[in-house]
Each structure stands twice: as structure tokens, then as C-alpha cells.
Structure 1
């Protein structure tokens, strides 16, 4: 009996631990690292810089699917009002169905990294991954999770890095310092007539805010010149500028999300909203799904599970965005005015979850959109 028990103990203790390499210490990578450690995996996370450096983000944390909850770290305030400017300015109170927080993303990511370390994750900073190193990771680990953003390391290895820029929004943003005390608790998004996209004002504190612009379709405009015009329009041109950054927001998924033993997550997987350009929540969710698929030994179902959880929202956001860009600005303004006059909470309409049907139905009922609209 004792011999049998020793044999079982040796077998359990001798089971090979699943080894996972995570490339990228952003939202998807850090979430995957924490979830993987909780599952008992051996997790090594490789971050090109120091975790929390090189942040390119408006720092609004959207949880419109109510799957994540309030961020554990770096929260500045919960957003309770959204201002939307088209031809007129409309203010919408946000209910529990539209959860948005302003965060300090550097602080948030550093907090996640410390949590990951406390669970046994080996966080290796200042460690860029070359093609050669990528192949080494693939050989030495059971699974590799690519959370490197766009273009991803995987895309450089497999030759599809240009795909991201061809299917992405283009952004430009300043971080400004000045008096934003009247802005706390609210965000502003403004749609303008001469480009498909919008500009935003996202305050972080009484003295600091991120102001940026995104183009979702190609045009001949210079985003930085447009941003300068917007600062003048909003009376912010004299404010101190502490950061200037630009980038891309990939809004289309690559043909595959799994390459051999590598899973793409977050921006690397093109999981960014085509409506507002946000992707933190989708990144975190995709990191969780990747780990769940590895644990359940069904990585072949990874893309299917992504579709089940995120596909409906992302496709709906794309359809709603296309509808807005297709309509003229006056019609869009009148539909939004009808929403505002209904006095229903914005969450009831589900627009931020891609409910294009509700937007179109309201437009049809008000006689603003043709009933036989062809998609």
C-alpha cells in the first residue's frame, strides 16, 4: 500500500508543468500571465521595455460587456457623463450598462505586473523578441502568446505585418496640462464632417487630459495639423504639452489567430473597436480566453471562443460605424438628438456594444433613414 501511494505521489509530482511564454507586457499579456499562473502554468513574460513604459492610449477603460469590472490599479475616476458633439452637443448620463473608467495605464500595468510576479510569473523586462528569439521560444515552450500589438512579432515572422496598417485607424494624441477641473467625471467625443473618425477629450485629473483624433478611413489630411486645429477650436492651444504620440488601431482580424503553437491576443489579433478605437477590454478578455483554451487543451477552438464572446460586439460596432460614415452628418445628429430626447439611459440602446439595429430602427421610425436601407 505504501509503495502504491509513493508511486501515485511521484506521478502527480512528476507531471510536466505547462510552459507558456508571453510576449508583451500590455493588457492582453499581463492578463494572460496572471490567469496562467493561477492555472498552475510556468509563465515567463517578455516585455520589450519596462512594463508601463511606451503607453500609446487615451486611457479610457471600457467594460461595456460587463465582463471585467473596475480595474484593480490606476483608476482615476468612473465616467458618469459622455458628451457627444455632432452638429450639436449632447450630454448623456452613463448607467451601470456603460462602465467606463479613466485610468493611469502605466500605473495599472505596473500593478498587474506586480500581481503576476506575486503569483510566480517571471517578468523579463527590456527584452525585445527578434525573429530568432521567437523561434527559440516556440521550440522551448509548449505555448507562446503573442501580445505585442500591431504589427505583431508573429506577423513579421509569417510575412503579414503590412496587414495591420492596411486595416487600422490612424491616431494622433497630445497629453495636455492645464485646468481640466470642470471636466472630471465626463469624456467628450466629437464627430466632424470632413473625415470618418472623431476626436476626443479624456481628462485624467484636474490638471491633465489626453486629447486626440482618429481616422478610420484613408484621407489626405494630416492628423497632427487636424489636432492643432481642434486644440484651437476647444480653447486648449495654450496648454502645456507633455506627451505626443501616434499609432494605429487594428480593427480587422488577421486570417488566423493561431500559428503553430502561437496564439495572437489583443491588438495583435485585431480586436479593436471600429466604432471608437478602444481595445483594452478585448485585449484582457482575449488573454483570458487564450489561457482557458490552453488549460482545456482545445487551442483549435480559440478563434471560435473569441467569436462567441467578442465577435458579435465587434461586428456590430463595425456595422454601426459604417452606418454613421454612410449617413450625412445632419442625419446622424438628428438620430442622436432623438436618443437624447428619449431620456432613456444610453446603455438601454447598446450602441457601445455595437447595436446598429437600434440606431437604424430609431432612424427609420423618425423618417431619417430609408426603411429599405441596403447594407
Structure 2
């Protein structure tokens, strides 16, 4: 029986643990904290490839509509093929951990993995799956931790308590002129929401000051802040995903969408693929499998993001307005669910109007 060590009890690590146990592997999982603690996430679960289905635990609601603000607000209904849920990430991960334990996974909480500990694990186990986030433990050993800092977006977020009853069941994303990125309002209940922003490229702005401005703009300044957190959003893959007998998954593998900053689905899938390759004694195929399953999606989202952030915002608003007038759902539009057709249509429009698409 192959022995597998997993570093990190997040989406990639827990999905790898569950799948590995089901395949009869010996799985030990090490988490720096208690499972579900220190969540740094807007908690939107985007199953863009329709692979994972509805989360088993922690679901608050399936998103019924997406409000997209550019120059004006446009509301897109979500149809059956748009798989976006708001979840409680802590509850979801605790549920997955309980499932893993029931399958025989040994979970060691409050067990951080240092550079020295990683070297021990790589010696004692057949394979180590690094789902430690960014910068990954592996990057500290192999000397590429600076890579994440140079290629990641930056996110900041508050959890607010207040009246969100008029927004419950929907999520909002808003683009602004003065930075490449967007801000969001993701309600978790009638009286709680995650409000944050992401910068996809460097700028002169101070992210927390920008978020305070956004909270004022949205009329939320009297609401109570219960959590303040942020971090790096790794949207570029490292040069390699396998280092000796260590496999990078999830954020450690740079598998976050460059379009919307979501990465839970990609992380889950990467954990499953890592186990699939280990069980088949074919780890050398792991990067090929990542490309096969996630490559087109990630590239398409990156291409569309580059296009959107090169546009004049007024032109983008006009395009979205035309699309909204067709009464299409967000699934037909493809802006947030990775449909290749959306990328192609935007590329065609850019080719037709090259001058007006420049800021």
C-alpha cells in the first residue's frame, strides 16, 4: 500500500485525502491549524466545468442571479447550467474532514510543515501532495517562493453584519476604471456578507483604503465588520508541478482563475487528479492531466481577463448592455462560467474595433 502525506486541509488536500482513501491508499494529512480555521476566501463555489456538482456541506444557497456593475448595473439570471453556490467554507471543510476520517484518513491538526519537516515527509512517504497554499512549503525548499509574490493578484476582504436581505440569493461583481480587478458583495445570509476586492496587477492604490471607499460607495459603512483578511491570489502556474516525489495542487499549483479569482473547483480537481496519477503509478502524467482537464478553461479565462482589462469601460458596458437585452442567462453569456464561446465572441469584437477597446 502506497503511503501518501498531504500538506494542508483545504479544498485540494481534503479532496485528495477522500479520493486516496477510497482507492485504498494510506493517507496522512497535516494541517497547520484546526480544519476550517483561517479561511481566506469569498466563499463562492464556482463549478465551472460541471464536474464536482453541488457541495456536500455548508451550502447557503445556489446563486439565482449575478449583478454585474460596469458603468451601469446589469442583472443576469442563473439557469440550471450555471453552477455557482454560496457556501460556508469552514462548515464545508469540516464536513469533508469528517468524511475523510470515516474513510480511514489520519488528520493531524495544529501540525505545521516546515522546510525541514517536508524533507522528512518526502523521505518517509511514497508521495507528498503539497496543498499548503501560497507560498507553498515546496517553494521554500526548492527556492521559488518569490514566484508567487511576482505573479499573484492581491485580495482584501471584510465580513460584514447588516441587512443583506435584498441581496440574498444573488452575488455582485463590479468593475471600476482605475485598476485591473473588481470588487464583490457575496451575501451568506440575510444579515451577513463577504465584501472584498482583488487587484490582478500592480498599481499605486492601497487595497484596504480602496475597500473602505467601496464600502462607503455601497452604503455599507454603518455595518459591523467581524472579520478582516486578505492574501495572494495565485493565477500563474509555477514552472513545474512535480518536484521529486512532491506534487503541487490547488493554490500551490497556481490554479486560480485570472478572470474572477475563484479557485475552489480547480483545487478540488487538482487534488483528485494527483491521487488518480499516484494510484495509476503514472505521476509523470500529472501535469498533462492538469492541462487536459483545466488547461483550456484557465487559458480562456486568462485571455478574456486580458481582453476585458484592456477595454475602455464604456465600450465594455455597451457590450454587456447588448448581451443583457437578449435576455440571456449568465450561462449563455459565459462571462463567469468558462464557456469558450464567450472568449471567441469577445476576441472577434476586439478585432473589429481595435482602437476603442484601448483605455
Q: Normalised by the size of structure 1, how large is the TM-score?
A: 0.92
Larger Rg: 1
Q: Hey, what does 2:277 align to over in structure 1?
A: 293
Residue deviations 1:76-109 (CA, integer Å, cap 9, x gap)? 1110100000001000001122111111100100
Report which stretch shifted further, 340-349 or 90-99: 340-349
Aligned residues: 358
Match of 2:267 in 1: 283
Question: Match for 1:262 among 238, 246, 259?
Answer: 246
Structure 1 unaligned blocks of 5 or more: 1-16
Partner of 1:71: 55
Structure 1 position 230 matched with structure 2 position 231: no
Q: Match of 1:6?
A: none
State the partner residue of 1:51. 35
Give 1:348 deviation, angstroms.
2.1
- Which range moved further: 353-362 or 99-108? 353-362
Change in Cα spacing, 1:295 to 1:234, as seen in structure 2 (3 Å) is: same
Trace 1:24-35 onto structure 2 (pairs within 5 A). 24-35=8-19
**Whole-Å separation in 2 of the counterparts to 1:358 and 1:171:** 26
C-alpha distance in structure 1 between counterparts of 2:280 and 2:224, whole Å? 51
Counterpart in 2 of 1:132? 116
8 Å contact from structure 1 (residues 52, 106) kept in 2: yes
Q: Given the alignment of the two structures, is residue 144 of structure 1 paired with residue 128 of structure 2, yes or no?
A: yes
State the 1:357 CA deviation. 5.4
Report the alpha carbon displacement of residue 270 of structure 1 after superposing the two structures with TM.
0.1
Report the alpha carbon displacement of residue 368 of structure 1 after superposing the two structures with TM: 6.8
Are the structure 2 counterparts of residues 362 and 343 from structure 1 closer, same or farther at C-alpha, using a change threshold of 3 Å?
farther
- Within 2, Cα distance between the matches of 1:44 and 1:362? 46
CA distance in 2, matches of 1:366, 1:53: 44
Classify 1:245/1:323 alpha carbon distance in 2 versus 1 (closer, same or farther; 3 Å). Answer: same
Q: Tell me which of 327, 332, 346 is aligned to 1:343.
A: 327
User: Does 1:253 find its partner at 2:253?
Assistant: no
How big is each residue's C-alpha offset from its partner over 1:197-243, in whole Å with a ceiling of 9 and x where there is no partner? 00000000011000000000100100000000000000001100000
Shift of 1:366: 10
2:153 matched residue in structure 1: 169
**Cα contact 1:317–1:353 (8 A) shared by 2:** no
Q: Deviations over 1:342-366 (max 9, x none)?
A: 1122212333344465355368569
Does the 8 A contact of 1:335 with 1:368 survive in 2?
A: no
1:99-127 Cα deviation digits (max 9, x unpaired): 11111100100000000000000000000
Is residue 210 of structure 1 aligned with residue 179 of structure 2?
no
Match of 1:160 in 2: 144
Looking at structure 2, the residues matched to 367 and 301 of structure 1 have their Cα atoms a distance apart, in angstroms, of 37
The 1-side partners of 2:241 and 2:255 are apart by 11
Unaligned regions of 5+ residues in structure 2, if any?
Answer: none
C-alpha distance 319-299 of structure 1, shift in aligned 2 (>3 A): same
Asked whether the equivalents of residues 30 and 107 of structure 2 are also in contact (C-alpha less than 8 Å), the reply is yes
Tell me the C-alpha RMSD between the 2 structures: 1.8
Distance 1:364 1:299, change over 3 A: closer
Matches within 5 A, 1:309-324: 309-324=293-308
